[in-house]
Structure 1
Amino acid sequence: MLEIFFLIGFVVMLMVTGISLLGIFAALLVAAAFMLLGGLFAVVIKLLPWLILAVVGVWIYRSMQKPQARRY
């Protein structure tokens, strides 16, 4: 919801300052790309403890297992 308010305010400010319609579309594209990358980065940071916990869990599970004899 906050992103929508940002985009609306961004477009209004660009129109008030006299930027052309093509410039507004280009600026919206760049702003959307930055928000997408920022959102993905935030999700990675938010999920990082769970990813580390999963890696530690698999590491502990594998260390508890005895080696399997390979049959070819």
Structure 2
Amino acid sequence: MALLKPKSSNKSKTLSVRVPTELANEIDDIKQMADQRGLTFDVAEVVERALAQAVRSARAEIAALPAGNMTNNPSD
């Protein structure tokens, strides 16, 4: 077994989020059911894809705003 591996060109950063307990329990159930069938439910990949889509949508929304429509209110 090789101890040294090439560095991954895909840099990543840990992002922690809180989800409702019910959702976390459902995710655990899905992961367990998938594992029993020799499959995997890759939550990190699912979240990454969903966040990437949300970021694209947010950028599009921001781009569609009039240039003067800026606010300093962080609660918006």
Regarding TM over 0.5, the answer is no
Which is higher, the Rg of structure 1 or of structure 2?
1
TM range (shorter): 0.3 to 0.5
Higher RCO (C-alpha 8 Å, min separation 6): 1
TM-score, with length taken from structure 1: 0.42
Q: Output the TM-score relative to the length of structure 2.
A: 0.40
